């Protein structure tokens, strides 16, 4: 198949999943055409069967704001016409699903029936898409897509409820390459972070309010009082300054490492013992899955799609939003019970391999594509 993929090229989960899906499909012989305003950050090396088409923006003085949605539509039309794409897969509803719909209408004039599949990832449905200025567009673009998938049962139900639609939505979970995400040798990093054998907690996110990174620090404060420990924070975003200030206020600045955005995530996870995810909302929790694949138990909130990923009292623990006391007690329990920790660690890795390995999930997308093309 010749498949077009439109996504955000940044560090966010939707862009990561879209890029990894394209790479996996290309490895199976499909021709993949990425269409975006920049090269996806996980597409740094040449990959056979993958092509990139940059959406160029005009800087005409009349336009106070850049017209990305329209420029994307034009680029989609161009790529479909000249590359003879069989299907367009858009990730994140805004604005990609809308641009996909517009491209489909333009191409229909030339007797081309473009099939558009939309994958919903989370905040496009639960946050941004619910704004009054966007809600009608999101609802319309979902209803007009040839096929719609969601990354969790939670997100599917949320979409059907929030937008009052009767569209058939298929749940296809996020996935990872467990041959890449696995525990590796990380003694040098471990010695640098925890030179005296301290336990290492880790959190990765975009440091936005919904991630509640300050809760991570407060959980660590309680754990730190009971168990010699360190905290690694990976990522960057609007809440980072406040988080740095909080660590200083709590006297934790010498035991907390702000690493910023990192590509070498596997080594960092391998040097850690426990993953914290106290989010206010998570449609799936891809960062937690990456940690689980590296053998880390997860302590998280019981929101969104997380309970579909983290099995309570088996691969980790889940608690209510803001329940810092309970989450810290869970972490201390694991750190003070070696046998339980080892069992949870093995369970985490096993669940990632058995249920979310790319070799199991990618064929679900292939089958879904064929169903749409043959419909």
Predicted pLDDT of residue 101: 93
Helix 338-356 to helix 324-335 angle (10° resolution) is 110
pLDDT in tens, 32-58: 999 998 888 888 788 899 999 999 877
- Report yes or no on 180 lying in a domain: no
On average, the pLDDT of the chain sits at: 92
Contact between 122 and 210 under an 8 Å Cβ cutoff? The reply is no
- Report yes or no on 369 lying in a domain: yes
Residues 125 and 114 in one domain: yes
pLDDT in tens, 69-98: 899 999 999 999 999 999 999 998 888 999
In the predicted model, is pLDDT for residue 129 greater than 60?
Answer: no
Residues 312 and 370 in one domain: no
Predicted pLDDT of residue 88: 97
Q: What is the mean pLDDT of residues 233-245?
A: 95
In the predicted model, is pLDDT for residue 64 greater than 80?
Answer: no
Any residues with CB less than 8 A from the CB of 57 and at least 6 apart, and which? 37, 66, 67, 68, 71
Contact between 355 and 295 under an 8 Å Cβ cutoff? The reply is no
Q: Which phi and psi (to 5°) does residue 147 adopt?
A: -150, 150
Residues 369 and 350 in one domain: no
Predicted pLDDT of residue 358: 95
Contact between 268 and 287 under an 8 Å Cβ cutoff? The reply is no
Whether the ω angle into residue 129 lies within 30 degrees of 0, i.e. cis, is no
Predicted pLDDT of residue 93: 84
Cα–Cα distance, 306 to 283 (Å, whole number): 7
pLDDT in tens, 250-285: 999 999 999 998 888 999 999 999 999 999 989 999
Residues 289 and 265 in one domain: yes
Residues 195 and 163 in one domain: no
What pTM, to 2 d.p., does this model score?
A: 0.90
Cα–Cα distance, 375 to 205 (Å, whole number): 39
In the predicted model, is pLDDT for residue 132 greater than 80?
Answer: no
Residues spanned by the domain of 48: 2-175+357-374
Residues 323 and 214 in one domain: yes
| Percent of the chain topping pLDDT 70 | 96
pLDDT in tens, 187-221: 899 999 999 999 999 999 999 999 999 999 999 99
- Report yes or no on 68 lying in a domain: yes
- Report yes or no on 79 lying in a domain: yes
Q: Which phi and psi (to 5°) does residue 318 adopt?
A: -125, 145
**Reported confidence tier of residue 236, pLDDT bands at 50, 70, 90:** very high
Helix 13-27 to helix 286-293 angle (10° resolution) is 60
Residues 77 and 65 in one domain: yes
In the predicted model, is pLDDT for residue 59 greater than 80?
Answer: no
Q: What is the mean pLDDT of residues 99-115?
A: 87
Q: What is the mean pLDDT of residues 320-324?
A: 96
Q: Long-range contacts for 263-268 (Cβ within 8 Å, ≥24 apart)? A: 263/41, 265/204, 265/234, 265/290, 266/180, 266/181, 266/182, 266/184, 266/294, 267/184, 267/186, 267/189, 268/186, 268/189, 268/202, 268/232, 268/234
For residue 149, the surrounding DSSP H or E stretch is: strand 147-150
Residues 119 and 195 in one domain: no
Note the helical H segments in the chain.
13-27, 68-83, 96-108, 123-126, 135-144, 153-163, 187-193, 213-226, 240-249, 265-270, 286-293, 324-335, 338-356, 358-374
Predicted pLDDT of residue 78: 95
- The domain that holds 54 is classified in CATH as 3.40.50.2000
Would you call 78 helix, strand, or coil by DSSP? helix
**Reported confidence tier of residue 247, pLDDT bands at 50, 70, 90:** very high
For residue 88, the surrounding DSSP H or E stretch is: strand 87-91
Residues 100 and 139 in one domain: yes
Residues 361 and 351 in one domain: no
- Report yes or no on 182 lying in a domain: no
64 or 220, greater pLDDT? 220
Q: What is the mean pLDDT of residues 214-240?
A: 96
Residues 193 and 309 in one domain: yes
- Report yes or no on 94 lying in a domain: yes
Predicted pLDDT of residue 262: 87
Q: Which two tokens stand for residue 325?
A: 């006391």
Residues in a beta bridge with 88: 4, 116
Q: Number of folded domains in the chain?
A: 2
Contact between 267 and 239 under an 8 Å Cβ cutoff? The reply is no
Residues 193 and 153 in one domain: no
In the predicted model, is pLDDT for residue 29 greater than 70?
Answer: yes
- Report yes or no on 181 lying in a domain: no
Residue with tokens 């673009």: 141
- Report yes or no on 149 lying in a domain: yes
């Amino acid at each position: 198949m010749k498949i077009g993929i439109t996504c955000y090229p940044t560090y966010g989960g939707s862009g990561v999943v879209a890029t990894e899906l394209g790479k996996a499909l290309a490895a199976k012989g499909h021709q993949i055409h990425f269409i975006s305003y920049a090269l996806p950050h996980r597409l740094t090396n040449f990959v056979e069967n993958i092509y990139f088409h940059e959406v160029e923006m005009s800087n005409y003085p009349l336009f106070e704001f850049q017209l990305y949605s329209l420029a994307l539509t034009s680029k989609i039309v161009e790529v479909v016409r000249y590359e003879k794409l069989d299907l367009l897969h858009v990730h994140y509803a805004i604005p990609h699903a809308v641009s996909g719909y517009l491209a489909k209408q333009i191409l229909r004039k030339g007797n081309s029936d473009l099939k558009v599949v939309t994958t919903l990832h989370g905040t496009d449905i639960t946050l941004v898409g619910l704004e009054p200025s966007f809600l009608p567009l999101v609802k319309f673009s979902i209803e007009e897509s040839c096929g719609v998938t969601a990354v969790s049962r939670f997100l599917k139900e949320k979409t059907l409820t929030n937008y009052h639609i009767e569209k058939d939505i298929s749940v296809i979970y996020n996935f990872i390459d467990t041959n890449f995400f696995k525990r590796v040798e990380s003694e040098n990093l471990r010695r640098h972070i925890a030179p005296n054998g301290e336990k290492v907690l880790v959190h990765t996110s975009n440091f936005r309010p919904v991630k509640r990174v300050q809760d991570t620090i407060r959980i660590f404060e309680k754990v730190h009082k009971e168990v010699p420990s360190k905290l690694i924070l990976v990522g960057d975003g609007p809440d980072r300054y406040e988080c740095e200030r909080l660590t200083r206020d709590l006297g934790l600045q010498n035991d907390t490492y702000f690493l910023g955005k990192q590509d070498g995530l596997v080594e960092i996870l391998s040097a850690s013992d426990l993953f914290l995810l106290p989010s206010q909302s998570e449609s799936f929790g891809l960062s937690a899955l990456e940690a689980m694949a590296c053998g880390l138990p997860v302590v998280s909130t019981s929101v969104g799609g997380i309970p579909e990923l983290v099995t309570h009292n088996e691969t980790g623990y889940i608690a209510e939003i803001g329940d810092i006391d309970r989450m810290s007690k869970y972490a201390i329990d694991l750190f003070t019970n070696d046998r339980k920790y080892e069992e949870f660690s093995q369970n985490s890795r096993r669940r990632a391999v058995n249920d979310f390995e790319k070799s199991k999930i990618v064929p679900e997308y292939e089958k879904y594509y064929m169903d749409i093309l043959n419909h």
